[in-house]
Amino acid sequence: MTTSSQPIASGELPRWTLSNLMATADGTGPTLNLADVAAGICVSGSVQALGLAMPAGQQPVDLWARGPDLTAVYEPGDDRRLRVTAMWRLGHRGSEHGIRSTELVLSAQTSLLSSDAELTVLATASGASALAAGEWTAEGLAWQSAPSDTTRCLRLTLAGAAQAAACLLLAIHPDDAGVIEVDRDTAGTCRIRCRLFPSNVEKGVLLRSRVLMAVGPNDTASGGTESWTAELLQAFAGSEPILAT
């Protein structure tokens, strides 16, 4: 395994710093422990997102940080023989308004003639006072009051002293197959699964998918939440596919 990081220079885009298996955004920001990748990025005490469900105890065989991109490579850890590459890319859009965004780019391929390719991206948010589920349509994005088997976007309003007046946004890119599932308990804790690559992958084929996570202010009363989430989702939907990591 190789680990590397570069110093943060004033005025540059957000970037990761890496120390062994612990990555930190912008030096003192959200953290990601690659030794427990299922836990995901610790955004705050009540939000962890963009975790990756992997076989128990599996560690990356290669790992590097380059500017806003943190990349980890996982060799096959079960009988599906999937080689998985995960890249967490820090965003800068809206950062001046307190919005933190990260995009997870997942790639998968197999050494078998054909294999089940499904991967699951995980998130947990406590203190969710409201929830809206979205489905990509030809006209854009249609919001609903409850998740369904076509949910591709999710917006949570977070309440409580630890995460006052905040909004969590999760979205699967409209060009990618997948669905978002949510389990919510009586205390308002949401456990979220973004299920990607629902079909098999054949040998020699590379699958790739993107998931967006953002946390920002929840000022629904003034229309602000709709404004920044809509702008971010529009930019995400129109972004060019990543051809290489």
- CB atoms closer than 10 angstroms to residue 15: 21
* Radius of gyration of the chain, Cα coordinates, nearest whole angstrom: 17
What is the average pLDDT across 208-212? 97
| Residue (of 225, 208, 224) closest to 103 by Cα position | 208
Q: Using pLDDT thresholds of 50, 70 and 90, give the confidence band for residue 87.
A: very high
pLDDT at residue 137 above 70?
yes
pLDDT at residue 237 above 60?
yes
- Say how far apart CA 163 and CA 86 lie, in whole Å: 28
Q: Which residue has the tokens 């390719």?
A: 117
Predicted confidence at residue 22, as pLDDT, reads: 95
Tokens of 42: 């610790």
Q: Using pLDDT thresholds of 50, 70 and 90, give the confidence band for residue 2.
A: very low
- Say how far apart CA 118 and CA 31 lie, in whole Å: 26
Q: Which residue has the higher pLDDT, 173 or 161?
A: 173
| Residue (of 217, 231, 222) closest to 140 by Cα position | 231
